[in-house]
A and B are shown apart, each in its own frame.
Chain A
Amino acid sequence: MAAVLNPQVMVVGAGPAGMSAALAAADCGVKVLLVDFFSQPGGQLVKQTHKFFGSRGQYAGVRGIEIARILGEKVRSHPHIEMLLDTQVLGYYPDGVLTMERSVDGDSEYLKARPRRLVVCAGASEKPLAFPGNDLPGVYGAGAVQTLMNVHGVMPGRRAVMVGAGNIGLIISYQLRQAGVEVAAVVEAAPVIGGYAVHASKIRRLGIPILTSHSVKEAHGERELEAVTVWRVDERWQGIPGTERRFEADVLCLAVGLSPLAELLWQAGCRMAYVPELGGHVPWHDEHQQTSVPGIFVAGDAAGVEEASSAMVAGRIAGLAAAASLGACPRYRELAGEARAQLEALRAGPPGEKIRRGLTRLEEVGRRVRAG
């Protein structure tokens, strides 16, 4: 029977939010267990070869892969952080015990932990899109294509069609071209480009067309993807017959949004709310990133899908708050206040409008939580 680990703070997920949470708590002197299912820390940062926006405090101008390296080194060398990699958290039990499966040399071992505080930074998963032929080999989530290229150095194909002109779709189109893959078109069902204009202009200069008010009608191929038919969509996002265009392609990349990975929070009984602006079901949380279950905190995409810059700041708040709740962060008000000011600045502009709307809706849920 595996022994039970008893960290003061356990952080699930070693992405930008989780590493920031672990470092903030550990800097307060508490013992932190940081767990991630991947073989290296960084989360999505390990494949993000673009330079970050934001300000200096959030590594603006630095590429995601470099931020992963910098934070990873800090986490590894911190005397108060123990990191368990290749370790998948399986479940949360009513007695506050989390179970984990850790891969060791092709075998696996079973572990348990009962932390005094839990910070969930599990990230998000890609949303699928339904259309005939979406099960053909060659149809990928955009994240998978980015992992193939930027983590494993594998070209996903020769010619791609990208679905979605949010930042992920635009950035990965650029990276496909850097890898030597032709991009036939980016299609976007909305009437305007969702991602930053600078990312859109970058790929237009490469000669890649962006077709707004367009979506995938069908993917074609016998054994694998050979072509994609797209068509114009109306205001109700219904395809318009007669507007079809066919592109030869062996890669179809779906970048149509992310859903928070909140299963552990459901299991723990956290009050959840469906907030489309934040990506789907998200845990209610207060300004300390604490959920409705005292002692359980959340940050990053698991708390609502947003940029990695704000994930790092929210993670820091969660780590500080977890430490403060153990009496280990005497400067909490000041430090968390500074971080909250950064977070508000990052969310203050037009791109933050959706997040602000989502957080307002979440706040309404909070009022009902307190009332009930």
Chain B
Amino acid sequence: MFGPDDASAAGVAAAGRGDTVAGTVAPAGAASGQLRRTGLPAVEDLARVIPPQEVRRRGPVAVFECFERIPCDPCYWSCKRGAVKPFGDINDLPEVDWERCNGCGLCVAACPGLAIFVVHEGYTDTTSLIKLPYEFLPLPEVGQVVGALDREGTRVGEARVVRVQKPREKVGTPVVWIEVERDLAHVVRNIAVAGGERGE
């Protein structure tokens, strides 16, 4: 799926770093053993949900890091463009139609599992854009430089806050847009905001 010239192949591999045990490739629709043991998706989990390179570079697109069959379908109802395919069984894994997704991020705020991110690889020549759910206070300010954290909460660089989408209702999930080093598009999944961390 990822050629050697693919800038983010390294990012994807790094995203899934960990102890993927050879021979434990999970069947379709089942989460990997690594995910069930550690909470960290394995390379094979991510490979199933990260869109092809031409889609990722075209513009913002949703990446559904939803690997386990659970009874849940708000993403389907949240999408105004019909980009989340209808669920036959409410336990099905969501499937995204890349041709319809424009990366608007409505699903990011709607997902109860906070498992959806919007990624625009090559937002500029040197950066990528990530829209992520963030339910902590204080919310960052636009322009603020915050810590860029990976799936284990480890700081892997810096991120510049591009936009903060506050929910219409107080109980909603804010979505923060950040700009990161281009190759970190599939690595950064959280931010560290100075001034502590309090629940939204």
Which residues of A pack against B, CB within 8 Å? 49-56, 60-61, 63, 65-66, 175, 177-180, 191-193, 196-208, 210, 212, 309, 345-352
Contact = CB atoms under 8 A, between A and B. Distances in A.
A199 B74 CA distance: 16
B112 A197 contact: no
Interface residues of B, number: 48
B171 A60 contact: no
Interface in B95-146: 110-115, 135-136
A196 B37 contact: no
B6 interface: no
Contacts of A196: 68, 70, 113
B112 A350 contact: no
Given A60-B72, A210-B39, A53 B113 contact: yes
Contact of B113 (A175, A198, A352): A198
A133 to B, nearest CB: 28
* Dominant SS among interface residues on chain B: loop
B71 A197 contact: no
B175 interface: no
A201 to B, nearest CB: 5
B40 interface: yes
B149 A205 contact: yes
A200 B71 contact: no
A179 B70 contact: no
Given A51-B173, A346-B90, A179 B198 contact: yes
Given A56-B77, A178-B136, A207-B154, A191 B71 contact: no
A201 B199 contact: no
B39 A53 contact: no
Contacts of B73: 55-56, 60
B37 A193 contact: yes
Given A193-B36, A197-B35, A199-B113, A205 B190 contact: yes
Interface in B4-42: 30-31, 33, 35-41
